[in-house]
A and B are shown apart, each in its own frame.
Chain A
Amino acid sequence: MNSLVTERPSESTAAAAQGWWRRTYRGALRGDNPLLLAAALLITIVVFAVLVGGTGYLRPENLLGIVRQTATISVMAIATVFVISAREIDLSIAGVIPISAYVVAMLMPSIGPLPAALVALAAASLVGLVNGLLVVSLGVPSFVVTLGMLGLLEGASRLFTNGQSVLVQDPAFIAVFGSGSFLGVPVLAVWSVGLAIVGAVVLKNTTVGKAVLATGGNPEAARVSGIRTARVRIGVLMLSSVAGGLAGLMYVGQFQSARFDLGSSDLLTVIAAAIIGGTLLSGGKGSVIGALIGSLLLGVVNNGLVILGLDAPQQLMFRGAIIIAAVIVSVRAARRRA
């Protein structure tokens, strides 16, 4: 049997078991296995519970609070899995947040919550379409296009609103995108977990997901095999912007106002969550459930640091360090395969 595998020497049973451990360990390192990632999440929670002591860290309210705070990150991380799996990157995802927030907040009084939300998401998808068309038709790397777009969006949302916030008071909107519950579960958790399930199914079990992974795994081979890689690339960038738009709605639901600085520090966290979750930066491989757990893990860490009394600058540094660690693991995994 072993002769069929060119890279592995023959293994005794004991060595095979050892090999299994090594693979599992490596898998855990690069987040291949959602179960192991979930275990890491639990361990982190326990560690913080011990560190924090008897202040009720483990109370459901606190844990659900973490899920709520993380929901916007989770939603964007899910879309980012598709983007990175297709060998693209979207740095403008968090820049869409204030755009969609302002659009929904300003239109809601005149056209009502549902139409306003739909217009906001449509505006968000337009951003992704522009990104995608620039990437595909001009051949500019998405890194550059979306970096420029991030600047444009951030500037625009300040310029056109003079930095003023816009209040939202529609109770239905706030319930659906903010403080409401569905069957006793906070709606924000319903959004993130629900979309993660949909995303996981789409990536794993549909032709769309297969096309995304093939495009990211080897764009040239995918193209000459008949995959419409241009559509795939435009599609993932639009998906990403829509997710940013949805995150904007969820921020407005929580804070009951649109502000220009909503989600302004989310980009790092979103990409870190996707990579911790086992999505390869080099494309071709991604895990949606992993990204959900990755974002929760980052949320737990952040929450714990806050309770331990660390300030925003320290949290930011901690997050940066986690990203570097995650990328190192991801790059090493990619190199090992090459």
Chain B
Amino acid sequence: MPTQMPDGAPVTPVLEVVDLTKSFGQVTVLRDACLTVGAGEIHGLVGHNGAGKSTLVRLVQGVERPTSGHINIGGERVDFKRPDDAHAVGVRMVFQELSLFPDLTVADNIFIHAEIARAGVIRGSRQHEEAAHLLGRIGAGHIDPRVLVGDLGIADQQMVEVAKAIRYESRLLILDEPTGSLSKSEIGDLYAVMRRAAAEGLGIVFITHHLNELFEICDSVTVLRDGRVALQTKTAETTLDAIVEAIVGDVPTQDVKRRTVSALNDVRLRVTGLSVPGKLDAVDVAVRSGEVVGIAGLAGSGRSTLLKSILGEIRAVSGTIEVSGRRVTGGAPGKTVSDGIAYIPENRKTQGLVLDHSVLANTTLSSLAAFARWIFFRARLAENATRGFINRLEIKALGPEQPVTELSGGNQQKVVLAKALATQPRVMLLDEPTRGVDIGAAAKITSAVLDEVERGMGALWVSSDLDELVRVSDRVLLLRDGSLHEWRPSSPDRFSQRALLADLQRPIAHENGVSA
């Protein structure tokens, strides 16, 4: 529909990707990908992490060069050697992490590096007028060009990015997960901006993890899986289930070993009415001894906030937290950790480890008191304990004294786990514990946590790897719009990644409130 002008004459597509293949050494990350985006078309691009989305985008942007195949922009074959080349023919990218200067005004940002100037002096009022005009064109006229970008909300910042993009002779706009950190109404505004930009004749590639958005805004969709195009169709001609099917592929449902968590097991963690403004709305959850409770939610749904506010790293405005019946509400991590909560943070480098310090120093960091007599550190005891963890978790290190910065990512993550296990926690909060970790290390980490769960620990496990979540969890809760909902697959055999991915995308109305 949008590839034809109103008078019905066909026009050349803005973007044509023809048999694009990209290999890194032995590994092919994109194979024979084909994709066409017409003028005025909004084209959704979805797939798991690692399916090839970013590679495809990087090729179109000129960040990387294809191994074979080629790209046409506006019907002409191009060979980008660097991002500037793509820029020159009108390919713009709106990054997930915005590339604006927060301390400059909206107008300064829009005209950065291409200022309207006479004899080197910027003509500020002309720029302000032009900027206001551009913003008006995309329906973002409410943004004052004189305001500092850093004072705008994320949504408005994205609109400035879009305005900046159409300011140039742009033809193709690539939006990388723009909705992740936006509220519902902001998403609506962004959609309006996208529609206006498309109406001006731009082609738009829209990358998202929120599959329902495909049906709200996209004309067509491409699903990538394992570097290949798994599905390419008009959104009007497909269904959510078909897209989920294409994303997940034909994986056999694995046998999942279910633990039996008795209702008699003691409650290790009870969270009641936990609220964090704008993030969590009266969340209740209980984790029993020997139980893994999985938390599924889309990016930006507040999963990390939930764990951090239980830990006390983020202050909740209301709600209570109990560990084995003892109230720990309002405690900072220094208190909650000693009360039996262990935490595996999302980012091991910034939150998990003191990188320059040794395996031993990191392993003992959360349980210093346990390795001390009065204030004196018992080096021998700590060394033995660290060696124990090195053996048990198969940490590949030269010894307890090696700095963790010299270890691989998987082994670093094992040290984070060792630190948590060393506190002998009553309950463990895990935030993406296996992300960015090689398969072997991920398996070791998972089994080590599950072993501890067998011995009675409770675990609250956040992961965007739904397959992992389904495998490890005794039950799964969906975090959506700040509250938790018990996930009840329609039949027992539907306790699968596929079912979870589909349910995660469906409107809330299908579920009941949580009864944890």
A residues contacting B by CB (< 8 A) are 1, 4-7, 202, 205-211, 213-214, 217-218, 220-230, 284-285, 337
Question: In the bound complex, do residue A225 and residue B350 qualify as a contact, i.e. CB atoms below 8 Å apart?
Answer: no
Question: In the bound complex, do residue B377 and residue A224 qualify as a contact, i.e. CB atoms below 8 Å apart?
Answer: no
Q: B residues within 8 A CB of A223?
A: 313, 332-334
Q: Smallest distance from the beta carbon of A298 to chain B beta carbons, Å?
A: 27
Give the docked Cα–Cα distance between A225 and B312 (Å). Answer: 11
Q: Smallest distance from the beta carbon of B383 to chain A beta carbons, Å?
A: 13
Question: In the bound complex, do residue B368 and residue A207 qualify as a contact, i.e. CB atoms below 8 Å apart?
Answer: yes
Question: In the bound complex, do residue B356 and residue A284 qualify as a contact, i.e. CB atoms below 8 Å apart?
Answer: yes
The 19 listed contacts between A and B (C-beta, < 8 Å) are A5-B398, A6-B408, A7-B406, A206-B376, A207-B369, A207-B375, A210-B368, A213-B354, A217-B355, A220-B350, A222-B365, A223-B332, A224-B333, A226-B334, A226-B336, A226-B366, A227-B368, A284-B357, A337-B405
Cross-chain contact of B398 among A1, A209, A337 (Cβ < 8 A) = A1
Question: In the bound complex, do residue B345 and residue A224 qualify as a contact, i.e. CB atoms below 8 Å apart?
Answer: yes
Q: Smallest distance from the beta carbon of A87 to chain B beta carbons, Å?
A: 11
Looking across the interface, which residue of chain B has its beta carbon closest to that of A223? B333
Q: A residues within 8 A CB of B334?
A: 223, 226-229
- Give the 3 A-B CB pairs with smallest separation, nearest first: A226-B337, A217-B354, A228-B334
The interface size bin for chain B is 35 or more
Give the docked Cα–Cα distance between A210 and B366 (Å). Answer: 11
Known contacts A6-B407, A210-B377, A218-B354, A226 near B423 by CB under 8 Å: yes
Give the docked Cα–Cα distance between A332 and B352 (Å). Answer: 25
Give the docked Cα–Cα distance between A138 and B337 (Å). Answer: 25
Cross-chain contact of B353 among A202, A211, A218 (Cβ < 8 A) = A218
Q: B residues within 8 A CB of A1?
A: 398
Cross-chain contact of A221 among B338, B350, B397 (Cβ < 8 A) = B350
Looking across the interface, which residue of chain B has its beta carbon closest to that of A201? B376
Question: In the bound complex, do residue A224 and residue B361 qualify as a contact, i.e. CB atoms below 8 Å apart?
Answer: no
Most buried by B among A4, A208, A229: A4
Give the docked Cα–Cα distance between A202 and B374 (Å). Answer: 12
Question: In the bound complex, do residue A213 and residue B361 qualify as a contact, i.e. CB atoms below 8 Å apart?
Answer: yes
Give the docked Cα–Cα distance between A207 and B462 (Å). Answer: 32
Cross-chain contact of A226 among B333, B353, B371, B405 (Cβ < 8 A) = B333
Known contacts A224-B343, A228-B332, A4 near B396 by CB under 8 Å: yes
Question: In the bound complex, do residue A206 and residue B372 qualify as a contact, i.e. CB atoms below 8 Å apart?
Answer: yes
Question: In the bound complex, do residue B377 and residue A206 qualify as a contact, i.e. CB atoms below 8 Å apart?
Answer: yes
Looking across the interface, which residue of chain A has its beta carbon closest to that of B344? A224
Question: In the bound complex, do residue A214 and residue B365 qualify as a contact, i.e. CB atoms below 8 Å apart?
Answer: yes
Q: B residues within 8 A CB of A218?
A: 350, 353-355
Q: B residues within 8 A CB of A284?
A: 354, 356-357
Most buried by A among B377, B397, B408: B377
Q: Smallest distance from the beta carbon of B430 to chain A beta carbons, Å?
A: 13
